[in-house]
Chains A and B, each alone.
Chain A
Amino acid sequence: MLNTDLISYLANLSKIEVEDADKEKLVSEMSAIVELMDAMNEVTIEDDLNLNGEGISLSNLREDEVVESFNRELVLANASHKKDGFFVVPKIME
């Protein structure tokens, strides 16, 4: 059963801040969605199919060659905080 603790856990895994006041609403919305998904409960996985899919075959991968990458200034142009050619983030260690 979905409850506010599970919503907090999932929000933390998803790195989305959720305010306490919004948790009840999310429990109700997500419960309806999970209930819809639970129609699958009656399905049992049998050994009749390959679950790994076709995947990407190695022959489809490009050669592992060094090629020119994006210009650093161009990549940093979209960052909100940058300095001396680097992204800037708040201090990670105290």
Chain B
Amino acid sequence: MALCDMGILELRQMLDSKEISSVELTQYYLDRIRELDSKVESYITVCDEEAILAAKRADEIIASGNTKMLTGIPIGVKDNICTKDILTTCASKMLYNFIPPYNATAIEKIKSQDAVILGKLNMDEFAMGGSTQTSYYKKTKNPYDITRVPGGSSGGSAAAMAAKLAVVTLGSDTGGSIRQPAAFCGVTGMKPSYGAVSRYGLVAFGSSLDQIGPLAKSSKECAEVLNVISGRDIHDGTSSRKQIDFTSELDCEIKGLKIALPKEFFGEGIDEEIRQAVLAAVKKYEKMGAEIVEVSMPSLKYAIQTYYLLSSAEASSNLSRYDGIKFGYCTPKAKTYEERIMRTRKEGFGDEVKRRILLGTYALSSGYYDAYYKKALYLREKIKAEYAKIFESCDVMITPTAPTTAYKIGDSYNDPVKMYLADICTVTVNIAGLPAVNTTCGYDKDNMPIGMSIVGKAFDDAKVLGVADAFEKNFMSVDPSL
């Protein structure tokens, strides 16, 4: 097995038995990035020196025998997660020079285990998009076909996993931003329950929806990373005190498991090849002894509206902090205080970010609040109630992760409405705060990966990972050829 095909668990053994040092492993990944990332363009920043220094420290810990799961493991991090002394741009001109004075809690946690940060990964600007084409810096490519998008917004995190440019990566998911790029790039990606992982240091987009999560080679690997980064944090009042062992259901029994199939997720608008691949995967679960229950989620009809109104309203408030005064880009062309703020925001934000701020401002403004924001809050509760009803009688739910496989670069990019509608399969999970994992279940006629999502009850994250793991054990994935 090539070194780049090894996951955390294999590498842990090799590192602990001194078959390889963390410095050698880190250098190997830095060399791969140098050699291959010019094609994929997944990294915005590569931290050569810092990574080697961290690897040296990890090797000292390994020599002392005091290792933890991620000690010496090279990791890539989405560029909206704050890393102390490492540029964190959010893929925006607005933060082109922002060096955070602190680490996000998730970063503190992986650093406390002496993991190695290889660099910062590309994304849609401020995580607003599903293609990684709205980045101010570069357009990331799909390693399965570099004329196609990697998905988004964590497109850099997914593409780097598919191209094997990190052992594991961190992403963030507000409306599908881990699961959809994971589906497009044929990797496993987990959006944990809202509150499972601290959001402290994650650049805020939609605070009631955002979660940090891992992208990895398997559900098992995702579980190991989540065990490290999850937990209560005094810096995030919405982080939960519930303790989850994400690995606890990895060998769970599928026999007798009740799987919900919501018919609305398999209707019009979903590519036939995707529908067939996901239904074939469901059949496999049935063969393993699961019971399939057809269910309905009528409010899916309004999911896109609910999601875009809530997330944009929250974004319009969260992004008000970018004023050119405290940090980030500042226009050189302003005489007055007002001009400095308004021109900085005009020049610093890209078109999609501006559209969402304007939409959110509209939804919250006097005269429109009841028609938009309040109605979205109502629909959020409706969607939550429909999920609660489904999970009264079912253990997990299976849906396609996206209505299409990765599309060509350039397609959809200029049509926001088309882009928004493509998020239909993922947004309800964030609206309801549930855990969901994407895993690959097939390939289309162009050999592009097809992803399915396994969704669970809030804080039943371990079950979701266990169910995905049962499928992965019997699935032969195909690597991209770069």
Contact = CB atoms under 8 A, between A and B. Distances in A.
Given A45-B375, A70-B102, A13 B361 contact: yes
A75 B284 CA distance: 55
Nearest to B385: A49
A85 interface: no
B358 A14 contact: yes
Interface string A1-44: 00000010011011111100000001001101111110111010
A39 B299 CA distance: 12
Interface stretch (B243-251, B336-344, B459-467, B474-482): B336-344
Contacts of A51: 374, 377-378, 381
A30 B336 contact: no
Contacts, number: 139
Interface in A45-91: 45, 49-51, 53, 56, 60-62, 70-71, 74-75, 77-81, 87, 89-91
Size bracket, chain A contacts: 35 or more
Contacts of A60: 237-238, 241
Contacts of B342: 15-17
Contacts of B308: 33, 36-37
A77 B376 CA distance: 40
A81 B99 CA distance: 16
B358 A17 contact: no
Interface stretch (B59-67, B173-181, B252-260, B321-329): B321-329
Nearest to B376: A40
Given A40-B376, A75-B101, 5 more contacts: A14-B316, A14-B345, A26-B355, A32-B416, A45-B378
Interface of B: 97-99, 101-102, 234, 237-238, 241, 301-302, 304-306, 308-309, 316, 320, 323-328, 330, 334-337, 339-343, 345-346, 349, 354-355, 357-359, 361-363, 365, 371-372, 374-382, 385, 416-417, 420-421
